[in-house]
Homo-oligomer: A and B are copies of this chain.
């Protein structure tokens, strides 16, 4: 007999047991419904790609974090670390086969060899959605509406989508003569929530001088309702322009779609990354502001410029599914379950098993998730199993019931039973009565 191999998983990776996996799939199914309801179509791309595609000419943080290796054909390959880069490559490869504007969603695993402290995992599910091939306020507004629809459907409670616009911010920086430092300033402003205004001011001063730094802080902390904040930003940025008109149109559409109450203009939102060129946004849960944004994104001018000369502007967002799952868990809103089974058919009497299979079939045909306890065991053991698996109802067919042409349907929580007719060894039970029993009590 060989040595036992310890059944461990890699650090930063994890198994999903039924309760966690059903919770995750529940989220994903709700999201799929929402995306499909708004014209978004699923796509998929390989988990493994040429490293050059995923990492470009290399260097940088993602490169260090990536699972990169040589395959058996000595190709330089890597596991995808996000869904954006593969989508860019996908659009460059297939733009001619697709219709534009193209709306897609993609929910799939990505891998990053990150530091596993702070509860970060090295394998996690991303959920991206984008509309590509159009630069319009309607498309921008649509993504915000979709975020709101998704979070409402997920029943996460209140949330705020915090919106800003890179263009307005850049105009403002130019007016300060600080346009050359825009990336550095964006990154610093992005840290406002984490390190606080005082520290950001100190770092900004070192970057662009005390006067400009103070103005930047004033700009990003503008307060008021959407229109007031927009007026203040506009004034500081040098007056109306396409970018502020865009924000007004988005606001108008958001209100028309009934999500005005969940959208706030917040000039401190910058999304540190440098590829956004228009609107940028983050989303916070009212009940858990500290966990950070659960859905972020923005508009970009050129999705796929690394792979094609075709101009593909777009706007999109990504939901951090695992962060959202953790949040729902913390709020007691997670909907994971041990199983979907609603009826377990107990296995008591030798020779009656064929009837159990025909009973199960009849219940399933009524839409009732049903399983058979797969061998004869003591009743106590079968009940204990049902309880551990969280199955709410049991169907009992013993010798006595078989002789009398009935079955017992038992509500395992209340311990109540009803007797239902199930005549003859060949004939099925009145499954609609059994299904009604289950449905009425499941609703209550």
Contacts and interface: CB of A to CB of B under 8 A. Distances in A.
A225 B361 CA distance: 24
A407 interface: no
A193 interface: no
Nearest to A256: B354
Contacts of A141: 357
22 contacts: A2-B56, A2-B57, A4-B306, A5-B56, A9-B50, A9-B93, A10-B49, A15-B45, A36-B369, A37-B340, A38-B369, A39-B339, A41-B339, A47-B79, A65-B72, A69-B69, A138-B347, A139-B374, A142-B374, A253-B354, A254-B357, A255-B354
Interface in A107-123: 109, 111, 113, 123
A262 to B, nearest CB: 13
Interface in A303-336: 304, 306-309
Nearest to A72: B113
Contacts of A42: 16, 18, 21-22, 25
A253 B253 CA distance: 60
Contacts of A113: 71-73
B10 A374 contact: no
B307 A6 contact: yes
A57 B5 CA distance: 10
Mostly helix, strand, loop or mixed at chain A's interface? mixed
B258 A356 contact: no
B47 A109 contact: yes
A7 B53 contact: yes
A10 B252 contact: no
A358 interface: yes
B340 A13 contact: no
A150 interface: no
B9 A46 contact: yes
Nearest to A368: B37
A360 interface: yes
A145 B339 contact: no
Contacts of A39: 339-341, 344, 369-371
Interface stretch (A94-102, A210-218, A416-424): A94-102
Contacts of A94: 15, 17
Interface residues of A, number: 113
Contacts of A72: 64-65, 67, 113
Interface in A238-270: 249, 252-258
A14 B46 contact: yes
A77 interface: yes
A99 B9 contact: no
Contacts of A135: 375
Interface of A: 2, 4-11, 13-18, 21-22, 24-25, 32, 36-39, 41-50, 52-53, 56-57, 64-65, 67, 69-73, 75, 77, 79, 89-90, 92-94, 97-99, 101, 103-104, 109, 111, 113, 123, 131, 134-139, 141-142, 145, 149, 249, 252-258, 304, 306-309, 338-341, 344, 347, 353-358, 360-361, 364, 367, 369-372, 374-375, 385, 388-389
Given A46-B123, A358-B258, A374-B131, A307 B4 contact: yes
A440 to B, nearest CB: 20
Interface centre among A18, A90, A92, A252, by most chain B C-beta atoms within 10 angstroms, is A18
A70 B358 CA distance: 52
Contacts of A375: 101, 134-136, 138-139
B21 A43 contact: yes
Nearest to A374: B139
Contact of A93 (B8, B137, B253, B338): B8
